[in-house]
Amino acid sequence: MRCRVACCAAAIEPAKPGHLALTIHKQKDRKTMLLFYSPFHRFVHKVLVAIHETGLGDDVELVPTFPFRNADGEWVEGQYDISMLNPLGKVPTLTADDGTVLYQSQVIVEYLDSISKANKLYPAGGPERFDALRRLGLGDSIFDFAVQMSMEGWRDEGARRLDLYTWLWPKITRSFDFLEEECDGWSDFDIGDVGLLQGISYLDGMATGNDSLPENPCHDWQGRWPKLAAWFQLSLQRPSVQVHYQKPFEGDASAQFHRSKVEQALALAVRSGA
């Protein structure tokens, strides 16, 4: 079902000339889809992996979007507004070539898989599909829990809710216990692996070696869950991960460039009647 987007009457300044240096494949003169996303590559981005695995890198332009702070740590809330495209105002948001606007990573990756030119990440059906979806759900939950704890750290130390950590940590350690037992049987790379990579990589960056994180049971999670750690390290070597993971974004990340791409997406939606 298409998202119908109303065109904003307010004028939006055009962007300065420039291009995105970090792309999933070699840059083409014209890309047909726009991905508004947070260009912090300290963790594995599920949508970026899906773009590469499905062979759609030449079709997607990456648009840096900062909901809170930019890459320099400056507070820029409101300067990268996508609420005219996505009423939630959240990343990632994808504008397809027909003007359809999709949001939430689960929806975007399934759409990309449906138009794949290469690998299919979603098994066609049966037990394999639901096993992949189960692991996707687990990875997404681990990611959400880690983000909640990370954002809690933005509060002054005295204002942090310790009960949030004591509530979430057992969910994560139980999940890791479960994954440690079953990861030996994994072979094919599917959407479940992609979801787990995103969740575990975010947690790894937040928790490993972090002495200031309250009640942290994942200080040395790779030592505690060695089989899961071995799967994680091997999966990080995939080209779809290496193209962005732990690499800085290079290109125009200005608010002006962002506004020009929002305008482009809105114009496409109006022309196509999406």
pLDDT in tens, 106-138: 999 999 999 999 999 999 999 999 999 999 999
Query: Do 230 and 217 fall within a single domain?
Result: yes
Confidence of residue 260 (pLDDT cuts 50, 70, 90): very high
Domain that holds residue 80: 33-120+246-272
Query: Do 64 and 199 fall within a single domain?
Result: no
Instruction: State percent of the chain over pLDDT 70.
Output: 88
Query: Do 44 and 106 fall within a single domain?
Result: yes
Say how far apart CA 167 and CA 150 lie, in whole Å.
Answer: 14
CA 49 to chain centre: 9
Query: Do 97 and 167 fall within a single domain?
Result: no
Query: Do 147 and 229 fall within a single domain?
Result: yes
Query: Is 165 a member of any domain?
Result: yes
Query: Is 151 a member of any domain?
Result: yes
Q: What is the reported pTM?
A: 0.86
pLDDT in tens, 212-245: 999 999 999 999 999 999 999 999 999 999 999 9
Specify the number of domains making up the chain: 2
Widest pairwise Cα distance in the chain: 56
